[in-house]
Amino acid sequence: QAWTSAIHGRWGTVDMADLLAFFDACLAAEHRLDPRRTAVMGGSYGGYMTNWITGHTDRFQAAITDRSICNLISFGGTSDIGMRFWDDELGLNFHRSEGALRLWDMSPLKYVENVRTPTLMVHSVLDHRCPIEQAEQWYTALKLHGVPVRFVRFPGEDHELSRSGRPDRRLRRLEEYLEWLEEWVPGAAQQEQRTADTRA
């Protein structure tokens, strides 16, 4: 409950600081981790944070943004999440001029000129929670700025691809993840497989 109060109306501030502090604590606690071989990734709000982080730091060697948000203004009225989502989450909305200005300040797209991190984008064509226009805007902006980017679109799938999508598509999604990591953070895919084998 305390965190919900701390983050209300402050996307891209305390949340980024919290995530990076946790990341730094992991690096400090586990010396086998190599800070020169890292990636940032997430889906939905985690995709928003991935986009936001790469627009504010270049410390990661690769990014994977899945069913993400990049433009909080155009998100309003196009997502199935409801008319008042931004009011509830941020105390703002796109149909009021002052709110729109502040939503733009919290939009990763505003800072896309700063992005240098090679980015894999995964999005489902039938995603109505985070409409695919969000991914299309982010992809286009990254391409225009010369950032290495790959956009993987899944037809016939929605926001739940990772949890309840068709099995072959869920597998392809994970393969795309590993292939991207192997390209930009060499050895990461093999390390992930070794970790999985150890846990098994």
Residues 6+ apart with CB under 8 A from 120: 62, 63, 64, 65, 149, 150, 152, 176, 177, 180
State yes or no: is 44 an active-site residue: yes
Longest alpha-carbon distance in the chain: 54
What is the residue-wise DSSP string for 26-86? HHHH-TTS-TTS-EEEEETHHHHHHHHHHTT----SEEEEES----HHHHTTTSTT-TTHH
User: In this structure, are residues 147 and 116 in contact, taking their beta carbons and an 8 Å threshold?
Assistant: yes
CA dist 198 and 74 (Å) reads 44
Q: Which of 95, 124, 159, 162 is catalytic?
A: 159
Six-digit token string for 36: 């020169």
User: In this structure, are residues 125 and 156 in contact, taking their beta carbons and an 8 Å threshold?
Assistant: yes
CA dist 60 and 117 (Å) reads 7
Q: Which of 8, 31, 44, 68 is catalytic?
A: 44
State yes or no: is 145 an active-site residue: no
**Catalytic site residues?**
44, 159
